[in-house]
């Protein structure tokens, strides 16, 4: 087989290779139910190229080896993390994206896809109420979206090189914020953690008093990060109150909605996010619940000019743009990047408003059902309004909870349920993420009884 498709004739070998690979992928998906979420063991192909290139047959066999050893997000018991099965249309979007091999770095390398990304970001901004100056940029994951938001906030505050710069987030906020602080050259203490209340939500009066104290010490705050959907229990920080505080103090509000902001796409669930439209920037990860193939994250900003004023360096090797638009590579940290918004766009088009709402509402329904089935006389259950839930035996100390969580996770795996084992406060929990559309209420009934039997 020629390694590149002819630009003149239909490449029948590529055509049949794609056909067979697609068939294998569909078989793999169809097989997922009879397997478990993770394989017991796996074999790896050799990594170094042979002297002569392999035949299509050999390539497909090697691919099969990798597929056999892969995690299976489609399995109904795959409930450990925020990794749902991929939407069918987004698989196709990813394939076409690879075939087009456009580059979001520069407009001339992705003429229509750059516009598609702009329009799609704008649509998300409108859904979340960010106003008429808003816009955004796609990023390879929420960690990067959060980092870019914080770099931008610090830049706008004029504190780029100020070692007294600090920012705030709750105790339950995501580890990507600590990572961002490291990348930004900030001391560990520059991320000020604010206690959460019994619902796992940032305590606004603590925020206010810690802020005053730091201010009196000469520290300068450049951002508050509110989390919409915390990673362990899916809590949403009080966005209205935090927005009010930020407005009063003139501080950038970033909403880390990697998990929760997607709920803004349905009118019913958007009520959970009241106040999000007052944010200066929002991270949203359609990869985490809607099933857009990884990676799919957007950084949305209320004033899109701040993206270019922070990240633009000029792009002297690409044709300059007319008007107010900037090349994709001038809107964020990444240079060359794929047209990730293609699979997001086609996934949303496939679902329609009805399909999107169904995914959001059913994920919450599954969480409510599992919550109602877990014996609360035995377990402390922590959850929020979304599709995450975690639990640990009542009255266990830290080491007892460690032993129980380890043993129970392993025994659940033998029944093909995969839960994760976060540490929260001083205890270990088991966590279920109910975003897998293949999980039925019957599956959850079985899961709940296994959970309830895990202690006497």
Ligand X SMILES: *Cc1c(COP(=O)(O)O)cnc(C)c1O
Binding site for ligand X (CB under 6 A): 82, 141-143, 146, 174, 176, 227, 229, 231, 256, 258-259, 285, 297
Q: How many separate helices (H) and strands (E) can be counted in the chain? A: 13, 12
Provide the minimum distance between the beta carbon of 348 and ligand X in the complex, in angstroms, as a whole number: 18
Provide the minimum distance between the beta carbon of 142 and ligand X in the complex, in angstroms, as a whole number: 3
Burial 16-26 (b: 16+ CB within 10 A, else e): ebeeeeeeeee
Q: Which residue is nearest to ligand X (CB)?
A: 142
Measured from the CB atom, the residue of 227 and 454 that comes closer to ligand X is 227
Provide the minimum distance between the beta carbon of 174 and ligand X in the complex, in angstroms, as a whole number: 3
Provide the minimum distance between the beta carbon of 152 and ligand X in the complex, in angstroms, as a whole number: 16
Measured from the CB atom, the residue of 83 and 443 that comes closer to ligand X is 83
Provide the minimum distance between the beta carbon of 418 and ligand X in the complex, in angstroms, as a whole number: 17
Q: Which residues contact 169 (CB under 8 A, 6 or more apart)?
A: 177, 191, 192, 193, 194, 202, 224, 225, 226, 227, 256
Q: Which two tokens stand for residue 179?
A: 């990572």
Q: What are phi and psi of 336, to 5 degrees?
A: -60, 130
Q: Which residues contact 418 (CB under 8 A, 6 or more apart)?
A: 36, 37, 38, 75, 77, 78, 79, 80, 412
Provide the minimum distance between the beta carbon of 450 and ligand X in the complex, in angstroms, as a whole number: 26
Measured from the CB atom, the residue of 102 and 143 that comes closer to ligand X is 143
Measured from the CB atom, the residue of 257 and 393 that comes closer to ligand X is 257
CB distance 171 to 193 below 8 Å: yes
CB distance 213 to 166 below 8 Å: no
Measured from the CB atom, the residue of 259 and 374 that comes closer to ligand X is 259
Give the helix/strand (H/E) hosting 151. Answer: helix 142-156
User: Which of 145, 338, 155, 400 has its CA nearest to residue 255?
Assistant: 145
What letter would DSSP give residue 172?
A: T
Measured from the CB atom, the residue of 210 and 259 that comes closer to ligand X is 259
Q: Where are the alpha helices (DSSP H) in 202-339?
A: 204-216, 239-249, 267-270, 305-311
Provide the minimum distance between the beta carbon of 32 and ligand X in the complex, in angstroms, as a whole number: 23
Provide the 3-class DSSP secondary structure of residue 272: helix
Provide the minimum distance between the beta carbon of 273 and ligand X in the complex, in angstroms, as a whole number: 14
Measured from the CB atom, the residue of 144 and 166 that comes closer to ligand X is 144
Measured from the CB atom, the residue of 180 and 251 that comes closer to ligand X is 180
CA angle (212 as vertex; 208, 218 as ends), nearest 5 = 145
Measured on CA atoms in the order 71, 74, 79, 82, is the torsion positive or negative? positive
């Amino acid at each position: 087989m020629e390694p590149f498709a002819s630009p003149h004739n239909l490449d029948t070998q590529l055509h049949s290779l794609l056909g067979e690979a697609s068939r294998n992928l569909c078989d793999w998906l169809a097989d997922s139910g009879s397997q478990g979420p993770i394989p017991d063991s796996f074999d790896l192909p050799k990594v170094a190229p042979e002297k002569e290139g392999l035949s299509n047959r050999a390539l497909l066999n090697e691919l099969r080896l990798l597929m056999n050893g892969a995690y299976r997000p489609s399995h109904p018991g795959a409930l450990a993390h925020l990794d749902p099965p991929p939407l069918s249309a987004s698989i196709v979007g990813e394939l076409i994206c690879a075939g087009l091999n456009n580059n979001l770095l520069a407009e001339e390398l992705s003429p229509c896809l750059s516009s598609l990304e702009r329009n799609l970001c704008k649509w998300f901004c409108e859904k979340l109420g960010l106003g008429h100056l808003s816009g955004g940029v796609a990023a390879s994951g929420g960690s990067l979206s959060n980092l870019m938001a914080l770099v931008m906030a610090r830049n706008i505050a004029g504190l780029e090189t100020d070692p007294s710069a600090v920012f705030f987030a709750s105790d339950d906020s995501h580890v990507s914020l600590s990572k961002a602080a490291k990348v930004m050259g900030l001391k560990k203490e520059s991320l000020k953690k604010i206690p959460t209340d019994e619902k796992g939500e940032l305590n606004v009066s603590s925020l206010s008093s810690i802020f005053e104290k730091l201010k009196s010490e000469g520290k300068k705050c450049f951002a508050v990060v509110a989390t919409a959907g915390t990673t362990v229990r899916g809590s949403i920080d009080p966005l209205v109150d935090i927005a009010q505080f930020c407005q009063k103090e003139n501080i950038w509000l970033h909403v880390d909605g990697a998990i929760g902001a997607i709920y803004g796409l349905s009118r019913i669930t958007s009520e959970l996010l009241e106040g999000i439209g007052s944010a200066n920037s929002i991270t949203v990860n359609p990869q985490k619940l809607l099933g857009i193939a990884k990676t799919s994250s957007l950084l949305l900003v209320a004033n899109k000019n701040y993206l270019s004023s922070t990240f633009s360096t000029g792009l002297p090797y690409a044709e300059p743009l007319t008007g107010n638009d900037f090349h994709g590579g001038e809107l964020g940290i990444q240079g060359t990047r794929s047209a990730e918004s293609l699979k997001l766009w086609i996934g949303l088009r496939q679902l329609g408003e009805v399909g999107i709402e169904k995914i959001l509402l059913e994920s919450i329904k599954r969480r409510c059902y599992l919550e109602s089935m877990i014996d609360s006389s035995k377990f402390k259950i922590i959850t929020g309004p979304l599709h995450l839930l975690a639990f640990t035996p009542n009255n266990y100390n830290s080491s007892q909870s460690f032993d129980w969580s380890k043993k129970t996770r392993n025994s659940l795996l033998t029944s093909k349920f995969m839960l994760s084992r976060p540490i929260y406060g001083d205890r270990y929990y088991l966590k279920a993420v109910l975003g897998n559309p293949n999980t039925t209420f019957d599956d959850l009934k079985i899961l709940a009884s296994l959970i309830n039997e895990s202690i006497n």
